[in-house]
Amino acid sequence: MTGETLLRARNLVKEFTVSGGGLLGRSGRFRAVDDVSLEVAKGETLALVGESGSGKSTTARLIARLIDTTSGTIEFDGREVHALSGKALHAFRSEVQMVFQDPYSSLNPKHTVERIVTAPLAYQRRPIPGGARVFTGALLERVGLNPDHANRFPAQFSGGQAQRIGIARALAVSPKLIIADEAVSALDVSVQAQVINLLRRLQDEEGFSYLFIAHDLAVVRQIATRVAVMNGGRIVESGDRDAVFGAPQHEYTKKLLAAVPRIRPEWDAARRRNEQARREREEAL
Amino acid sequence: MTISDTLLRVRMLTVGFPNIHGPNEVVKSLDFDVARGGALGIVGESGSGKSMTSLAVMGLLPKGAKRTGSIEFDGTELTALPERAMRSVRGDRIAMIFQDPLSSLNPYYTVGTQIMEAYRSHRTGVTRRQARNVAIEAMERVHISDAARRVDHYPHQFSGGMRQRVMIAMTLSMEPELIIADEPTTALDVTVQAQILDLLAEIRADTGAGLILITHDLAVVSEVTDHIVVMRDGDLVEQGPAERIFTDPQEPYTRMLLDAVPRIDDEIGLLRTVSTEEGR
């Protein structure tokens, strides 16, 4: 890992109480996250991948302090997250932002875009630099939206645009870490590609880190610096992206990679040759 | 393709939801064929009309929809069939598998009961015992282990992948000639998706049934189907053999879609998108 460590989670455990079904069922403890340790360096993207029930989203929620840990420690920028209170907790809440899967359900339908993207600042009782109108316009431009649309409501935007609003809201408080929980999974492929490009560009410009939670390995490969693979609440393998994708060590990672549907590489190669020929023909005209 | 090789022949299929503003067409003048034993992929993004196309073929369009054009199945014009006759085609000869198996299964009945009911409603003079054996056999064919016991389980006792297997078992018990699968693996984990796609391929090889696979996932259609229809906003953008679509797409939209798919085993770079659509 290069760079300074921003986030360091050690031996995270999260247990939930489950009530047993039926007459003879006894309630028990279900361990959703089981001894997870991970680090995120400044400016990098750690992708946490796994199938449903792997514990990846619960891990994200623990790190964002949306839920409490059963045991384990989370250190963010040198401070223990679960010990934070008052002003320090407020600061943490703006330094770590989340972007969710469903853009519509994570945006208040009755609020204008301006109110939505300035809400994190209002909640922090911080002044809005340059005033709400100018601030919102600048944010919208950064995420590729029309700055004149600040007075519109979420329903007036497409899914991809709504997700950009969610990203703009995250950017409003200049976070150090953005936790993206399946942030591009619900989008159409052409829109998904645009949002992935946007996420990468913003990171290049701002230097923040991503904790990128996703089930889609092909998407992860486009955006991750490092990858941690989760299964049954545990991280079974982690490493640099090319190592995990190129030479997976754990059986589960191998199984996961083998299951990904793929377009035949020879078809892609043939397509590139045909496109090259088409361009040459067009240029010759 | 001669007539006898063609299982399904769709011509000028148009679906609209007419209102005071106009015909509001969501599927526009679609032409395509499914060969006997062939696998056709219909791909498109949301709003492309791909699901409406499958519902139109099944005669299951929602209220208020207007369908025109011709849908010829094994020589029979389906658009001319009375609902009663259509009902026997549906399920018996053309079966459909949906994205969400949980909402297609009744939570109050065991899966066995549901497979048996489906089977008996299309076969006359079948005893309960015979139907039960058909149900168990169908569940075994989709690799549900311990089928003789699990036939008495309720849908909630199965995982998502297993429920989709139950749906496929129900389909299989009908011995359909055409299976229409609408995003059958979209809600499933990738390892389960691979199993279900293998299962569909196995069933086609065993029974010779034709398949229409409707999906947003180009990688999935590239693995499963031999002929592809690309749709956008209700229009057919282009169609052809799978290899031709993937190696030499003619339409800019198809090329853009192929560029936008993140690859698991190809170069990593800026995903190409249509720049004019930035922010769409």
The pLDDT tens digits for B206-218 are 999 999 999 999 9
A272 contact partners, CB below 8 Å, separation of at least 6? none
B93 CA: distance to closest CA in chain A (Å): 29
Tell me if B219 and A260 make a contact (CB, 8 A cut-off): yes
| Cβ-Cβ contacts under 8 Å, B160 against chain A | 52
From the list A197, A200, A271, the residue facing B273 with the nearest CB is A197
Do residues A56 and A48 touch, judged by C-beta distance below 8 A? yes
From the list A51, A221, A265, the residue facing B268 with the nearest CB is A221
**Statement: residue B86 has pLDDT above 70:** yes
Q: How far is CA B227 from CA A170, B35, B39, B42, in A?
A: 43, 9, 6, 9
Do residues A182 and A101 touch, judged by C-beta distance below 8 A? yes
Q: Please count the CA atoms within 13 angstroms of the CA of B63 that sit on its side-chain side.
A: 0
Is B243's Cβ below 8 Å from some Cβ in A? yes
Give pLDDT tens digits for B89-139. 987 899 998 887 777 889 999 999 999 988 888 788 889 999 999 999 999
Tell me if A161 and B280 make a contact (CB, 8 A cut-off): yes
DSSP E strand stretches across chain B:
6-16, 25-35, 39-43, 66-73, 76-77, 94-97, 178-182, 210-215, 227-232, 235-241
From the list A188, A255, A267, the residue facing B247 with the nearest CB is A267
Do residues B141 and B173 touch, judged by C-beta distance below 8 A? no
| Cβ-Cβ contacts under 8 Å, A194 against chain B | 271, 273, 277-280
Tell me if A190 and B260 make a contact (CB, 8 A cut-off): yes
At B187, the pLDDT band (50, 70, 90 cuts) reads confident
Tell me if A271 and B263 make a contact (CB, 8 A cut-off): no
Q: Where are the domains of chain A?
A: 5-284
**Statement: residue B270 has pLDDT above 70:** no
B178-182 vs B210-215, strand pairing mode: parallel
Nearest CA-CA partner of B73 in B59, B61, B84: B59
Helix (H) or strand (E) holding B267: none
Give pLDDT tens digits for A144-189. 999 999 999 999 999 899 999 999 999 999 999 999 999 999 899 9
Q: What is the pLDDT of residue B102?
A: 72
Q: What is the pLDDT of residue B161?
A: 86
User: CA-CA distance, B233 to A186, in Å (whole number)?
Assistant: 19
B94-97 vs B178-182, strand pairing mode: parallel
From the list A217, A255, A271, the residue facing B264 with the nearest CB is A217
* Chain A nearest-CA residue for B269: A222
Is A255's Cβ below 8 Å from some Cβ in B? yes
Is A240's Cβ below 8 Å from some Cβ in B? no
Nearest CA-CA partner of B10 in B45, B35, B44, B38: B35
| Cβ-Cβ contacts under 8 Å, A215 against chain B | 189-190
From the list B160, B193, B265, the residue facing A262 with the nearest CB is B265
A182 CA: distance to closest CA in chain B (Å): 14
Q: What is the pLDDT of residue B276?
A: 37
Tell me if A275 and B255 make a contact (CB, 8 A cut-off): yes
Give per-10-residue mean pLDDT for chain A (285 aa): 85 87 67 96 96 92 94 95 90 93 90 94 86 94 94 92 94 95 91 93 95 95 96 96 96 95 93 93 87
Tell me if B194 and A161 make a contact (CB, 8 A cut-off): no
| Interval B186-210 mean pLDDT | 90
Residue with tokens 């389909």: B171
A97 CA: distance to closest CA in chain B (Å): 22
pTM for the structure as a whole: 0.87
Tell me if B261 and A218 make a contact (CB, 8 A cut-off): yes
Residue A174 gets the label, from left (phi > 0), alpha (psi -120 to 50) or beta, of left
CATH number of A5-284: 3.40.50.300
| Average pLDDT, rounded, for chain B | 90
Tell me if A188 and B46 make a contact (CB, 8 A cut-off): yes
Do residues B149 and B27 touch, judged by C-beta distance below 8 A? no
When scoring B193, B217, B232, B261 by the number of chain A Cβ atoms within 10 A, the one with the most, hence best to mutate, is B261
At B278, the pLDDT band (50, 70, 90 cuts) reads very low
At B159, the pLDDT band (50, 70, 90 cuts) reads confident
**Is residue A57 classed as helix, strand or coil in its secondary structure?**
helix
Tell me if A259 and B257 make a contact (CB, 8 A cut-off): no
B119 CA: distance to closest CA in chain A (Å): 32
Give pLDDT tens digits for B222-235. 999 999 999 999 99
- The percentage of residues in chain A with a pLDDT greater than 70, rounded to a whole number, is 96
Q: What is the pLDDT of residue A29?
A: 85
- The percentage of residues in chain B with a pLDDT greater than 90, rounded to a whole number, is 64
User: CA-CA distance, B146 to B136, in Å (whole number)?
Assistant: 9
Tell me if B216 and A196 make a contact (CB, 8 A cut-off): no
Tell me if B219 and A263 make a contact (CB, 8 A cut-off): yes
Is B238's Cβ below 8 Å from some Cβ in A? no
As a whole number of Å, the end-to-end CA separation of chain A is 51
Helices (H), B2-152: 50-58, 83-89, 101-104, 111-122, 128-141, 147-150
